[in-house]
Structure formats: structure tokens, C-alpha cells
């Protein structure tokens, strides 16, 4: 393959054929480690040894588009070619899991809303900042906006909600605020009627709620995107660390620590834990949920 002739954005007619041929190719253990480590260093996502075949399948779809016939050549392309950065951006959506839905793990979000209300009452807080890191198509951030609206928080103060994700494609979906019934599978009928307009198979989110959330592209293991934020009241990073290595989690939560206000909190997914990884956050247990708060470093 001649790198100069590559056009990664236009799929050749025989891409599908090439993809199925590449899927059959064996990814050697050596190539697997090179690519797996490169991806891990870039974004924290870690493919365990048992996932060699999964990674091979995901890479082969991009190799077919670029007409790159071997995994080591693809590694060199990612690492050394001038378009390697763009290629990583195209590869990312094939590596991530974007599963999300409205009103997911709701007890934790209710607790967050109650905490913010308490801060208004006790400290007269007038501004809040919340980050949804690994926001996917926006359901989590928009759910929080709906819940804050229902709780009357917007009548009392300003809340900036930012969704951040590494995957540019999924952020376009988030910004469009168009969903399917699948995203609303845990949303009550009344809430759906109040906040969504039905257009055939699509559910269009109410414009007022849509405007309450903004989205930015950012890689959370890179300190720079998080460095744009200071004194954040809450970071939601739910169902992201299940795909990260412990070292990547450690690196990321150190940035979260710097980004959060002293009394800020961190929300992880139910199946995720910082125990045995770091002690810079401690758990705060509540009746049917838990959150993390900063410990004295
Ligand atoms: C399973 S979704 C979680 C969505 C939502 N937080 C929830 O719990 O419903 C995981 C998201 O994390 C994003 N992600 C993975 N690695 C990331 C990174 N290094 N920086 C920012 N986002 C990342 C993925 O693109 C994906 O959209």
C-alpha cells in the first residue's frame, strides 16, 4: 500500500470484501501487544489478552478502509504517518462501547440533585458546574438536566452541565438530541411526554433541556481537556472505567481530583470501584447508592 494514496474517508467498493479477508488474518501476539499498548497509552482502554480476536476484528474494519494488509503496517500508520492522529479518531468509535440510556442508575443522580439543593439552602450557592465524562450520546447529562428542572433547581441558580467524550461521532449524536425508544427504555411515560416530541421512530428532546447541556470532545486521560475546568461540583464518569486498566483509572482520577472543588463529588458506575486502586477518594455510602468524595491528600 502507498500511504500517499490513502483516503481514509472514502470507502472503496471492495472494502467489505477486504474486511472479511482481514478478519481471517491472525493478529500475532507481538502485534497484539504493540497495538493494545498503543491504544491503552492513548485513551486508557485496555484489551485483556483474551480479547485478541475482538481487537483484530475491530482493527480489520479500519485496515480495510485504508487498504492496509497487515496489523504491523497498521500500527506503523497509526504511530508514524502524518494522518495517524486522524486515523486514531476514526478508530476510536470502533474501540469504545457507547451503551447508555436515560435515567440510568437513577438513585445516584437523585442523590446528586439532593446534594446540590442542600448547597443552595446551606451556602446560598448560585452556580454549579457538572461534568459528564464519557457522556456518549448525552443521555446521562440530559437526564440530569431534566431532573434539575423537575426539582426547580434552575429557578434558584445556574447549572453548567458539560458532556465530554473522546468519540467525535457520538458527540454529534448527543448534540442532535434525537433518540430512539431504546434510549428511553427506563423513562416513565409522563416524563417522556413532557420532555420529548415524537417524530415517527424518533424522540426529539425538548429544546430548553437540550440547551442546558454543552458537549466538548476530550480525552479524559489527557490532563489538558480537564484542565479547562476548575472547582467543579460533580464529575460523572459512569460505566467508563470498566474498560480501563487500573493505571489509566489512577491517572484519570488524579485529574478529577484537581478538577473538583473541595466539597465536590465523583460518581462512578455501580460495577466500578476505586478500592485497591487509589485512596485519594473515599466512599460516601447512602441508603441505596454511593458516591466518592475527596480525601485529604
Ligand atoms: C458505556 S459509555 C458510558 C455512557 C454514560 N456515562 C453512561 O453511564 O450511561 C462509555 C463512554 O466513554 C467514552 N470514553 C472511553 N474512553 C474515553 C476517554 N479516554 N476519554 C473520554 N471518553 C472516553 C466512550 O467513547 C463512550 O462513549
Taking CA atoms only, the protein residue closest to ligand 1 atom 19 is 43
Confidence of residue 13 (pLDDT cuts 50, 70, 90): low
**What is the average per-residue pLDDT within 3-22?**
61
| Domains (range + CATH), the chain | 3-95 (no CATH), 106-294 (3.40.50.150)
Name the burial class of residue 171, with classes exposed (0-12), middle (13-18) and buried (19+) by CB atoms within 10 angstroms of its CB: buried
pLDDT (0 to 100) of residue 23: 72
Determine the 3-state secondary structure of 231 from DSSP. Answer: coil
Report the residue count for the chain: 297
pLDDT (0 to 100) of residue 7: 42
Confidence of residue 6 (pLDDT cuts 50, 70, 90): very low
**What is the average per-residue pLDDT within 39-53?**
97
Q: How far is the CA of 13 from the centre of ligand 1 (A)?
A: 32
Choose among 141, 146, 118, 139: nearest CA to 131: 141
Q: How far is the CA of 3 from the centre of ligand 1 (A)?
A: 31
- Please provide the average confidence, as pLDDT, over all residues in the chain: 93
Q: How far is the CA of 205 from the centre of ligand 1 (A)?
A: 21
Atom of ligand 1 nearest to the CA of 45: 16
Taking CA atoms only, the protein residue closest to ligand 1 atom 20 is 219
Question: Do the Cβ atoms of 139 and 185 come closer than 8 Å?
Answer: no
Q: How far is the CA of 116 from the centre of ligand 1 (A)?
A: 24
Taking CA atoms only, the protein residue closest to ligand 1 atom 2 is 98
pLDDT (0 to 100) of residue 25: 75
Q: What is the pTM of this model?
A: 0.93
User: How confident is the model over 157-202, as pLDDT tens digits?
Assistant: 999 999 999 999 999 999 999 999 999 999 999 999 999 999 999 9
pLDDT (0 to 100) of residue 17: 81
Regarding the beta carbon of 96 and ligand 1, being less than 6 Å apart is answered: yes
CA–CA–CA angle 127, 107, 115 (5° rounding): 30
Atom of ligand 1 nearest to the CA of 99: 1
Asked if pLDDT for residue 216 goes beyond 80, the answer is: yes
Q: How far is the CA of 105 from the centre of ligand 1 (A)?
A: 15
Amino acid at each position: 500500500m502507498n500511504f500517499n494514496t490513502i483516503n481514509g474517508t472514502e470507502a472503496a467498493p471492495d472494502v467489505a470484501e477486504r474486511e472479511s479477508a482481514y478478519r481471517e488474518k491472525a493478529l500475532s501476539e507481538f502485534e497484539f501487544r504493540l497495538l493494545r499498548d498503543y491504544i491503552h497509552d492513548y485513551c486508557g482502554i485496555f484489551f485483556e489478552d483474551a480479547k485478541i480476536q475482538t481487537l483484530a476484528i475491530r482493527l480489520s474494519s479500519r485496515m480495510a478502509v485504508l487498504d492496509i494488509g497487515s496489523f504491523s503496517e497498521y500500527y506503523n500508520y497509526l504511530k508514524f504517518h502524518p494522518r495517524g492522529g486522524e486515523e486514531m479518531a476514526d478508530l476510536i468509535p470502533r474501540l469504545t462501547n457507547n451503551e447508555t440510556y436515560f435515567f440510568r442508575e437513577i438513585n445516584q443522580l437523585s442523590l446528586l440533585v439532593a446534594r446540590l439543593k442542600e448547597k443552595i439552602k446551606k451556602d446560598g450557592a448560585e452556580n454549579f458546574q457538572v461534568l459528564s465524562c464519557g457522556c456518549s450520546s448525552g443521555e446521562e447529562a440530559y437526564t440530569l438536566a431534566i431532573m434539575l428542572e423537575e426539582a426547580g433547581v434552575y429557578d434558584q441558580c445556574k447549572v453548567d452541565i458539560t458532556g465530554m467524550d473522546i468519540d467525535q461521532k457520538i458527540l454529534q449524536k448527543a448534540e442532535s438530541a434525537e433518540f430512539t425508544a431504546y434510549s428511553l427504555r427506563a423513562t416513565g411515560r409522563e416524563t417522556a411526554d413532557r420532555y420529548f416530541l415524537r417524530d415517527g421512530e424518533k424522540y426529539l428532546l425538548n429544546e430548553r433541556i437540550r440547551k442546558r447541556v454543552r458537549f466538548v470532545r476530550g480525552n479524559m486521560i489527557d490532563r489538558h481537556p480537564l484542565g479547562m475546568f476548575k472547582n467543579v461540583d460533580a464529575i460523572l464518569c459512569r460505566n467508563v472505567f470498566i474498560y480501563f486498566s487500573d493505571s489509566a483509572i489512577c491517572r484519570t482520577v488524579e485529574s478529577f481530583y484537581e478538577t473538583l472543588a473541595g466539597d465536590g463529588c465523583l460518581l462512578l458506575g455501580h460495577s466500578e470501584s476505586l478500592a485497591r486502586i487509589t485512596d485519594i477518594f473515599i466512599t460516601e455510602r447512602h441508603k441505596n447508592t454511593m458516591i466518592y468524595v475527596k480525601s485529604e491528600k
